[in-house]
């Protein structure tokens, strides 16, 4: 059974839990935060910040939040904020590169316009001079010179047109490659990403040689491979990011559960399904199904933990010792689990997340021949389910 993915919302932890968390040593820095900090060292960062202050400023805010959450041991929130900071920063760098390419294209467009105007003037002059030559029937050399001028002007215009088209394709290929960077395509599809990078470098060499047609062909291939790398890598990148968040969330749940007072905690794995079991004892007097006086407060930290991690489905399972008939003990354990269910719902837990069952004496954790063992077996378990 696969647990559906849900967004994780952190609710305020109790003061005692916050004090415990503050005392913990700072954990290793999340991979997403390290990646974001490396990206900030981009040599074009200052120019990008000047041109796109909003995007870079938003990235700084997410980056600061990621650092604070990491220093506070909130690895999930740190990872999430670092991923958002990285996306904002990569977007700013990509848009900066695109704007610079547009500027180059504009300059080339202006040069082509001037060349067209020059050619038009040459055509006009050539027409007038040709008419004069025809009328005067003289100076064949002058006619040939004018024809050569026209050919040179036409060749220059074609060169500028080819250069402009090449720059447009180069800008498109660069943008596709930058987009591939945002989903770590060099990691998840190294073949297509490497081919795109190589073809872009090949096109740059062809541009220096003035081989515009070959450069355009190379740039078309570079863009196509970069787009493919993005398409292949995006689901893997998103899955890896989600898995990283889930691992951080699971570890945080284990730490928080272990800190709860008056309970025992044990992890258990059955195939792909993992369970974190929190056993609560001494909630009921013998053969009673209502919480014993003064025991309702013992469920407060449990309710706070369940609410703090809203993406997990939770089982409430009642257990008893073996003193009595099995059928009656199963009914007793079911009623006790239902009482705990009602208490948690009254404390703000969403009832739709909870599943209730009773196992009676069928799953002992200690020896029923001793009072201490029977006390351990008479328990209610709060079980978090996850993969």
Binned at pLDDT 50, 70 and 90, residue 238 comes out as: confident
Per-residue model confidence as pLDDT tens digits over 264-319 = 999 998 777 899 999 999 999 988 999 999 999 999 999 999 999 999 999 999 99
* pLDDT surpasses 70 at 115: yes
Predicted pLDDT of residue 147 = 80
Predicted pLDDT of residue 86 = 87
Predicted pLDDT of residue 5 = 38
Measured CA to CA, the distance from residue 292 to residue 310 in angstroms comes to 28
* pLDDT surpasses 90 at 143: no
Predicted pLDDT of residue 154 = 81
* pLDDT surpasses 50 at 79: yes
Per-residue model confidence as pLDDT tens digits over 332-371 = 999 999 999 999 999 999 999 999 999 999 999 999 999 9
Would residue 288 count as lying in a domain? yes
Mean pLDDT (whole number) for 140-158: 79
Q: Are 75 and 104 part of one and the same domain? A: yes
Would residue 251 count as lying in a domain? no
Predicted pLDDT of residue 276 = 95
Mean pLDDT (whole number) for 115-131: 79
Predicted pLDDT of residue 133 = 61
Q: Are 238 and 264 part of one and the same domain? A: no
For position 316, which CATH number holds? Answer: 3.30.1330.60
Query: Cα(first)–Cα(last) distance of the chain, in Å?
Result: 8
Residue 192 domain boundaries: 23-243
Q: Are 172 and 289 part of one and the same domain? A: no
Q: Are 199 and 264 part of one and the same domain? A: no
* pLDDT surpasses 80 at 57: yes
Q: Which helix (H) or strand (E) holds 39?
A: helix 31-39
- For 234, residues 6+ apart whose C-beta sits below 8 A from its C-beta are 183
Total tally of structural domains belonging to the chain: 2
Spatial strand order of the sheet with 273-281 comes to: 263-270, 273-281, 379-386, 314-319, 354-360
Predicted pLDDT of residue 244 = 85
Would residue 7 count as lying in a domain? no
* pLDDT surpasses 90 at 127: no
Q: Are 178 and 64 part of one and the same domain? A: yes
């Amino acid at each position: 059974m696969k647990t559906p993915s849900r967004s994780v919302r952190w609710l305020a932890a109790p003061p005692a839990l916050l004090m415990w968390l503050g005392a913990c040593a700072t954990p290793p820095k999340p991979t997403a935060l390290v990646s974001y900090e490396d990206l900030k060292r981009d040599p074009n960062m200052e120019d990008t910040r000047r041109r796109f202050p909003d995007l870079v400023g938003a990235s700084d805010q997410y980056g600061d939040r990621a650092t604070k959450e990491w220093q506070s041991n909130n690895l999930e929130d740190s990872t999430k904020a670092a991923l958002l900071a990285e996306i904002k920063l990569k977007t700013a760098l990509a848009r900066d590169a695109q704007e610079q390419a547009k500027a180059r294209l504009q300059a080339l467009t202006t040069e082509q316009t001037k060349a067209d105007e020059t050619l038009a003037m040459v055509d006009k002059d050539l027409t007038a001079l040709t008419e004069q030559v025809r009328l005067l029937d003289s100076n064949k050399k002058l006619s040939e010179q004018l024809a050569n001028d026209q050919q040179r002007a036409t060749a220059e215009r074609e060169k500028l047109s080819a250069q402009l088209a090449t720059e447009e394709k180069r800008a498109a290929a660069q943008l596709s490659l930058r987009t591939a960077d945002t989903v770590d395509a060099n990691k998840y599809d190294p073949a297509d990403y490497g081919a795109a990078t190589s073809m872009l470098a090949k096109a740059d060499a062809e541009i220096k040689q003035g081989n515009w047609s070959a450069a355009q062909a190379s740039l078309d291939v570079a863009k196509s491979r970069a787009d493919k790398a993005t398409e292949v890598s995006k689901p893997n990148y998103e899955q890896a990011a989600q898995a990283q968040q889930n691992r951080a969330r699971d570890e945080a749940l284990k730490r928080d559960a272990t800190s709860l007072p008056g309970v025992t905690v044990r992890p258990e794995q059955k195939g792909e399904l993992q369970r974190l079991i929190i056993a609560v004892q001494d909630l009921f007097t013998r053969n009673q199904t209502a919480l014993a006086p003064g025991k309702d407060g013992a469920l407060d930290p449990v309710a706070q933990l369940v609410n703090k991690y809203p993406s997990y489905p939770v089982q409430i399972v009642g257990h008893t010792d073996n003193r009595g008939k099995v059928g009656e003990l199963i009914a007793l354990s079911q009623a006790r689990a239902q009482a705990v269910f009602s208490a948690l719902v009254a404390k703000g837990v969403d009832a739709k997340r909870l599943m209730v069952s009773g196992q009676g004496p069928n799953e002992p954790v200690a020896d029923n021949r001793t009072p201490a063992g029977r006390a351990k077996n008479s328990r209610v378990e709060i079980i978090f389910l996850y993969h």
